[in-house]
Chains A and B, each alone.
Chain A
Amino acid sequence: MRRRRALWFWVFVGPFAAGLTLFTYVPLLWSVGLSFFDAHNTVTPTHFVGLDNYTAMLRDGAFVGSLKTFLLFTAFIVPVTYLLSLSLALMVNRVRWARAFFRSVFFLPAACSYVVAALVWKMSIFNGVRFGLANTVLGWFGGDPVAWLSTTDPPWYWLVIVSVRLWLQAGFYMILFLAGLQRIDPVLYEAAAVDGARPGWTVLRHITLPQLRATSVAVVLLLVINAFQAFDEFYNLLSDARGYPPYARPPLVYLYYTALGQGQNLGLGSAGAVILALIVAVVTVGQARWLKLGRTDPDG
């Protein structure tokens, strides 16, 4: 009986384990190996260069610049999306009439793809000519048209990137917070009211937010992961046939061009990938510690 169960275990798990090994772990280890070699146009290099690829990558202004861009993007988009989606959830949760309507209105953008939204933002709302929506509104107040995606001083392109992401994401996280809010026992609020706590900031701080801790942990984790994976809106808003401007180039895209594009420098690209993986690992561990993930709740 046990042998038969083991057989079925491998029938179901085996193909996936083999696939994972073959397509994930072997390439991963191979890539780490490549990062120590001069691997131009080859995946089986012979010239060992030690840490040269790592030092070259860390001195590469384009790569370091792309890392800074994304760290800045993450540092901004995560708290802003968190606050916006929490605020929306708190508002929608208090609405007494047309509840379903308001929930749908805020959630619907989540059904739109990043590509479509980015193109609408780029071509209709934030194009730089006088008949773009944003420029038309500016024109009503006597303002000159602004080249939203081409201006770095001030960096208006951030407004476009951030607004499209907020529009697409906030509704989804609002739903998560709503679910969290509805799980809070009303007795807690009643007890607080009996004790004299007024609805508002005090109740929010001492009851709602602590009760939403588990949801908040999940939301922050998802937001950070999504921010590091951001690609669609950068690609559709800012890239052209010749690539990205230096101020908005995702690091993974730069590594892709270095290793797999015409650069074909697989050693250098692999070193960059290892550096990026280490940064993501450090951020993840730091975040897990900050959010106290994995610790047993003494009350729980």
Chain B
Amino acid sequence: MTMSRRALLAAGAGAGAGLLAACGSNTGRGGGGSGTELSQWYHQYGEPGTEQAVQRYAAAYKKAHVKVQWRPGNYDQQTAAALLTDSGPDVFEVNGPTLDQIQGGQVVDLTDLLKGVRDDFNPAVLTPKTYDGRVWGIPQVIDMQMLYYRKSLLKDAGVEPPATLDALVDAARRLTGSKVKGLFLGNDGGAGVLGGTPLYAAGLQLVTEDGKVGFDDPAAARTLGKLHQLYADKSLLLGAPADWSDPSAFIQGLTAMQWSGLWALPQIQKELGDDFGVLPFPKDGGQGKPSVPVGAYGAAVSARGRHKEAAKEFVRWLWVERTDYQEDFALSYGFHIPARISLAKKAGKLRSGAAADAVRFTTEHGYAQPLLWTPAAQTAYQDALSRIIGSGADPEGELRAVVRKVAGELDRVKKKS
């Protein structure tokens, strides 16, 4: 079949128009129609049923038509880019908002939504969403990480669950054999996932409350050096087919202990029954204390949205008023701790066994990445940690350079406030 030039041009013009329409229109806002239309973005959750649940919550809201977008891929990058334009979401969940997003006026102040209930939100996750006393994101659910250990393997080796970092290094060495490694901290030896956790375990912080570098202390180098000891002892499982966030290596018996998230608990329980326990990251040194990292996606409102007040009203309805939905979202699909203290306390699934321990660790030892900890500071610290653990770089020298970089970043962000 041949095609005339005219037909080809017409087809090309049609395809071009279609392409342009496809590029420009898929913002999820909708257009025209009666009533307010709100666009709400979520990152793609792995747990089945979550998407249907948020669609159901949105459909139940009567004051506006809420259109949910479920976005796979690099969600944080997508939202960050969308906030620069006015075609982004009205309401979006965010692993933040970041300080730059707040200082850049990209998100709306949500302080008044928490009137009367602010104390009911877990401070560990509300604090990093608070800047200048104002709240910029409403925490949805809490995720935390902890150390899983196989009771039977520890018992066979005569090893007690480690309460200090030295004991962890020793236990990992003793539990390592020809077929089983002592500890799995991720395929990079823990540099990526542990982040600031060892510093908190040494009694330090990433950023102090008055906005200074929180680990300009010899204890930091000492503690991070012990992580290299784990690597040098060959006690760490490295290069597992699935990384730290997946409990496969632990379940398959490739490692006696694994650092992973609360989300892995139901799967581990199903496979191992009672043959496992959980611990916080063990303390190090006289000033040290156990630590567990906590994080929370929060609901934020875009400052460039066309319906900011309506969007705020929807966030109040879903993440402050409708506690039944919040509980459902936290516990019916994946396994998370509700951000509201009152909901976490009464949730049946979290009241016994390892889950109850996890809730206790979160309350007693939880720390969240501070708002002043910028992505540039994170990269510098993470790279240094990687060199210390894997290459045996001198912790003191590496940390000196990181302290300089972080101090510069803190000066930069404080100048803007």
B387 within 8 A of partner (CB): yes
Q: How far does the Cβ of A23 sit from chain B's closest Cβ, in whole Å?
A: 11
Question: Are B239 and A127 in contact (CB-based, < 8 A)?
Answer: yes
Choose, from A189-197, A214-222, A236-244, the stretch at the interface: A236-244
Question: Are A264 and B104 in contact (CB-based, < 8 A)?
Answer: yes
A50 within 8 A of partner (CB): no
Q: Which A residues are in CB contact (< 8 Å) with B98? A: 262, 264
Q: Which A residues are in CB contact (< 8 Å) with B103? A: 40-41
Q: Which B residues are in CB contact (< 8 Å) with A240? A: 186-188, 192, 243
How distant is the Cα of A265 from the Cα of B377 in the complex, in angstroms? Answer: 13
Which partner residue on chain B sits nearest A43 by CB separation?
B84
Known: A129-B240, A151-B390, A152-B391. A61 touches B192 (CB 8 A): no
Q: How many A-B residue pairs have CB under 8 A?
A: 113
Which partner residue on chain A sits nearest B187 by CB separation?
A150
Q: Which B residues are in CB contact (< 8 Å) with A152? A: 390-391
Q: Which A residues are in CB contact (< 8 Å) with B192? A: 240-243, 245
Question: Are A246 and B240 in contact (CB-based, < 8 A)?
Answer: no
Choose, from B74-82, B108-116, B216-224, B352-360, the stretch at the interface: B74-82
Which partner residue on chain A sits nearest B387 by CB separation?
A246
Q: How far does the Cβ of A200 sit from chain B's closest Cβ, in whole Å?
A: 44
Question: Are A242 and B80 in contact (CB-based, < 8 A)?
Answer: no
Question: Are B188 and A245 in contact (CB-based, < 8 A)?
Answer: yes
Question: Are A262 and B375 in contact (CB-based, < 8 A)?
Answer: yes
Q: How far does the Cβ of A220 sit from chain B's closest Cβ, in whole Å?
A: 33
Q: Within the complex, which residue of B16, B80, B186, B187 is in contact with A264, where a contact is CB–CB below 8 Å?
A: B80
Interface size on B, residues (CB 8 A): 46
Q: Within the complex, which residue of B81, B106, B243, B254 is in contact with A260, where a contact is CB–CB below 8 Å?
A: B81
Q: How far does the Cβ of A271 sit from chain B's closest Cβ, in whole Å?
A: 14
How distant is the Cα of A62 from the Cα of B245 in the complex, in angstroms? Answer: 25
Known: A41-B83, A245-B386, A264-B80. A149 touches B187 (CB 8 A): yes
Question: Are B101 and A153 in contact (CB-based, < 8 A)?
Answer: no
How distant is the Cα of A260 from the Cα of B101 in the complex, in angstroms? Answer: 12
Q: Within the complex, which residue of A144, A246, A256, A264 is in contact with B100, where a contact is CB–CB below 8 Å?
A: A264
A147 within 8 A of partner (CB): yes
- Residues of A135-183 whose CB lies within 8 A of B: 144, 147-153
How distant is the Cα of A263 from the Cα of B193 in the complex, in angstroms? Answer: 19
How distant is the Cα of A149 from the Cα of B188 in the complex, in angstroms? Answer: 8
B347 within 8 A of partner (CB): no
B189 within 8 A of partner (CB): yes
Q: How far does the Cβ of A63 sit from chain B's closest Cβ, in whole Å?
A: 10
Q: Which A residues are in CB contact (< 8 Å) with B376? A: 258, 263, 265
Q: How far does the Cβ of B184 sit from chain A's closest Cβ, in whole Å?
A: 11
0/1 per residue, A24-62, Cβ < 8 Å to B? 000000000000000011110000000000000000011
How distant is the Cα of A258 from the Cα of B378 in the complex, in angstroms? Answer: 12
- Residues of A223-281 whose CB lies within 8 A of B: 240-243, 245-247, 256-258, 260-265
B33 within 8 A of partner (CB): no
Question: Are A261 and B375 in contact (CB-based, < 8 A)?
Answer: yes
Question: Are A42 and B392 in contact (CB-based, < 8 A)?
Answer: no
How distant is the Cα of A123 from the Cα of B179 in the complex, in angstroms? Answer: 18
What are 21 A-B residue pairs whose CB atoms fall within 8 Å in the complex?
A40-B104, A41-B101, A61-B383, A62-B379, A126-B239, A128-B187, A128-B239, A129-B237, A129-B241, A152-B391, A240-B187, A240-B188, A241-B192, A242-B192, A242-B382, A243-B382, A245-B192, A261-B80, A263-B374, A263-B376, A264-B98
